[in-house]
């Protein structure tokens, strides 16, 4: 009887150990995030691109601008020239404004120069939009051209010129502060490195690196 009881105890303990440790299923790891497929870039044949180029001369100004914007996003070599021509020669003021606003954040070094013709536009809003765009771009080389607009016949345009100059000054100050912060960080890092090297010499009583051997 005792032997049977002992066997039952052993079996019970084994079952308990299996259920508690070996029989417990590990939690499955969370599923990986879904894969987002990036669409392939639009591929057009030369004939199709030529058709888009012809559309930039459409009778409707909105169609013309939509075609130019598409060419820009496609990286077409004539896109920037078409935008410049739009600012200088487009008869629809709304489209000229769109072209100016488009260049306001364009990552092209010559974008500010391409906006400049709009400063001589007969439309007050176009001149004002050009001044705002130039102020946002922050190219300090354009400042003399903005200063000339302080002689504009319209008070609203003169105000926009002053605001553009103020924006240029603010951007200049931001660049200066960023440079000062970088120099300060570099100095602190160099100072900390010098302290660590000095501490290493003090604790070891010898050179902190192999290059100090010849200097002793």
User: Among residues 98, 96, 78, which one has the least CA distance to residue 87?
Assistant: 96
**Is residue 17 predicted with pLDDT exceeding 90?**
no
Q: What is the pLDDT of residue 128?
A: 96
Least confident range from 26-30, 74-78, 86-90, 137-141: namely 26-30
pTM of the model: 0.62
Average pLDDT, the chain: 80
The per-residue DSSP string of 18-84 comes to IIIIISSPPPPPPPPPPP-PPPPPP---HHHHHHHHHHTT-SSHHHHHHHHHHHHHTT-TTHHHHHH
pLDDT tens-digit map of 39-83: 555 677 889 999 999 999 999 999 999 999 999 988 899 999 999
The pair of three-digit structure tokens given for residue 125, joined into one six-digit string:
């809003």
Higher pLDDT, 49 or 213: 49
pLDDT band at 216 (very low <50, low <70, confident <90, very high): very low
Mutual angle of helices 93-104 and 79-89, in 10-degree steps: 130
Q: Which residues contact 130 (CB under 8 A, 6 or more apart)?
A: 87, 100, 115, 116, 118, 119, 121
The pair of three-digit structure tokens given for residue 69, joined into one six-digit string:
């914007």
- 121, 96 Cβ separation under 8 angstroms: yes
| Most confident option among 62-66, 102-106, 137-141, 177-181 | 62-66
**Is residue 214 predicted with pLDDT exceeding 50?**
no
Return the SS3 of 181. helix
| Most confident option among 17-31, 156-170, 190-204 | 156-170
pLDDT band at 12 (very low <50, low <70, confident <90, very high): low
Return the SS3 of 188. helix
User: Which H or E run contains 114?
Assistant: helix 111-115
Averaged over 131-156, what is the pLDDT?
94
Mutual angle of helices 61-73 and 79-89, in 10-degree steps: 150
Q: What is the pLDDT of residue 194?
A: 77
CATH architecture of 46-175: Alpha Horseshoe (1.25)
CA distances from 170 to 54, 94, 130, 144, 149 (A): 42, 29, 18, 17, 19
**Is residue 120 predicted with pLDDT exceeding 60?**
yes
Averaged over 136-147, what is the pLDDT?
92
- 115, 87 Cβ separation under 8 angstroms: yes
pLDDT band at 21 (very low <50, low <70, confident <90, very high): low
């Amino acid at each position: 009887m005792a032997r049977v009881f002992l066997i039952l105890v052993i079996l019970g303990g084994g079952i308990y150990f299996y259920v508690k440790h070996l029989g417990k299923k590990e939690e499955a790891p969370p599923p990986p995030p879904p894969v987002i497929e990036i669409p392939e870039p639009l591929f057009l044949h030369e004939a199709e691109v030529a058709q888009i180029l012809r559309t930039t001369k459409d009778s409707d100004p909105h169609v013309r601008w939509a075609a130019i914007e598409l060419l820009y996003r496609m990286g077409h070599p004539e896109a920037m020239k078409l935008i410049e021509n739009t600012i200088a020669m487009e008869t629809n003021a709304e489209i000229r404004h769109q072209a100016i606003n488009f260049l306001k954040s364009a990552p092209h070094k010559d974008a500010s120069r391409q906006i400049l013709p709009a400063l001589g536009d007969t439309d007050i809003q176009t001149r004002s939009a050009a001044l705002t765009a130039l102020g946002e771009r922050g190219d300090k080389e354009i400042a003399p051209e903005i200063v000339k607009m302080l002689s504009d016949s319209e008070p609203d345009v003169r105000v926009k010129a002053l605001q553009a100059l103020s924006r240029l000054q603010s951007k200049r100050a931001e660049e200066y502060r960023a440079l000062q912060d970088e120099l300060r960080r570099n100095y602190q890092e160099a100072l900390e490195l010098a302290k660590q090297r000095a501490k290493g010499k003090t604790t070891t009583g010898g050179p902190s690196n192999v290059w100090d051997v010849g200097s002793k």
